[in-house]
Structure 1
């Protein structure tokens, strides 16, 4: 990897890893640079180690800070791994190993699915290390809106809602309304209720909401 000015300090245990996702870092990303029109960046120009994929994602982020770039990269990874993350919702490692797919059309799926789920989860959950440039700490932005549930760190509650709605064919509008009543800390309960109303009529869904209000 080429040396860059303003390269962040890299802790020994992360010396070969991408700051965005912890995959091997074969590239580097500088922010801000000629790819970005930044009007209000509150931190100095810096360069971080990154993998080629995250670098490409990061260059597309039209934002004002490295922390906002990080969130955009996580959203892109979430989209890339939609199906792989769904493995962890529908299977356990043991159930997948004992699924009896050996020799059939799903043998390849059985062999690689849990590994891909672990890769997706690890890349999404990795939040980098504290950034230091020339001995000066780059202060983390306040107001992060990550949402953690069942061992996965989603870029936001909205992304978690979208992921579960796609995976289980849920009515995302109903899920949002239930969460508004129960609170995001009861996300699992809200999803369970929504799964009971897959294919339900509008009146049935309305009655479910009324029940929660009573």
Structure 2
């Protein structure tokens, strides 16, 4: 392996950020001097990046590049929480026929779906395989992402947090419901928890015992 750290970039991604696919005018190297890692499982890597993702990546105190990627995705999900919520509450057709033309919400109607798509595309993007000097660097400790309703979350915990914030759900209650019925019933769990927004702890415990 040479001293080169810059990964091989496929031709069609030569101007793209590895984290989100936006135009890349910067780069990010891991490990880096601001966060010393003594057990990183791969050689130092330099990736093309947009400025925003590079800044988020530099704050990630983790041990490998894939954990950096997850940290950046968490940042993007938090940044775009309101834009991603558009897809939770509307379809493109419903938004187009919402009747907001000419009113104070006209700007929202015009730009909302576009912003939702931008947010979803950045969050969902997965970087191309990491190849350095012709050798692919693989992740032997892949943490499973969780995909739901067209959005890929770094983990089911991030999905639960996102839905809890947008629908004002009790996060602990949602966790307990999912523990009972399983992640494959995520939509059912969210619908159930929305019925108990504002319920007392005793009411939630009783509902959970009876829920199946």
By the TM > 0.5 criterion, same fold? Answer: yes
What is the CA–CA distance in structure 2 between the aligned matches of 1:95 and 1:172, rounded to whole Å? 29
**Alignment match, 1:176:** 175
**Alignment match, 2:64:** 65
What is the CA–CA distance in structure 1 between the aligned matches of 2:24 and 2:160, rounded to whole Å? 31
Q: Report 1:81-160 matches (<5 A).
A: 81-160=80-159
| SS of residue matched to 2:28 | strand
What is the CA–CA distance in structure 2 between the aligned matches of 1:172 and 1:88, rounded to whole Å? 20
Matched, 1:24 2:23: yes
What is the CA–CA distance in structure 2 between the aligned matches of 1:64 and 1:129, rounded to whole Å? 20
What is the CA–CA distance in structure 1 between the aligned matches of 2:159 and 2:32, rounded to whole Å? 32
Q: Report 1:35-74 matches (<5 A).
A: 35-74=34-73
What is the CA–CA distance in structure 2 between the aligned matches of 1:115 and 1:22, rounded to whole Å? 16
What is the CA–CA distance in structure 1 between the aligned matches of 2:206 and 2:54, rounded to whole Å? 48
Aligned length: 210
Q: Which runs of 4+ in 1 moved over 3 A?
A: none
**Alignment match, 1:196:** 195
| SS of residue matched to 1:160 | helix
Q: CA RMSD in A?
A: 1.3
What is the CA–CA distance in structure 2 between the aligned matches of 1:141 and 1:80, rounded to whole Å? 29
> Alpha-carbon deviations, 1:28-54, whole Å to 9, x = none?
111112222111111111111100100
- Structure 1 residue 5: Cα displacement: 3.6
What is the CA–CA distance in structure 1 between the aligned matches of 2:142 and 2:10, rounded to whole Å? 26
What is the CA–CA distance in structure 2 between the aligned matches of 1:69 and 1:149, rounded to whole Å? 22
| SS of residue matched to 2:211 | helix
What is the CA–CA distance in structure 1 between the aligned matches of 2:140 and 2:166, rounded to whole Å? 32
Structure 2: 5+ residue stretches without partners: none
Q: Does the 8 A contact of 1:67 with 1:141 survive in 2?
A: no
Q: Taking structure 2 as the reference length, what is the TM-score of the superposition? A: 0.95
Query: Greater shift after overlay, 7-16 or 82-91?
Result: 7-16
Structure 1: 5+ residue stretches without partners: none
Q: Does the 8 A contact of 1:170 with 1:194 survive in 2?
A: yes
- Structure 1 residue 161: Cα displacement: 0.8
- Structure 1 residue 129: Cα displacement: 0.5
What is the CA–CA distance in structure 2 between the aligned matches of 1:163 and 1:118, rounded to whole Å? 17
What is the CA–CA distance in structure 2 between the aligned matches of 1:172 and 1:146, rounded to whole Å? 19
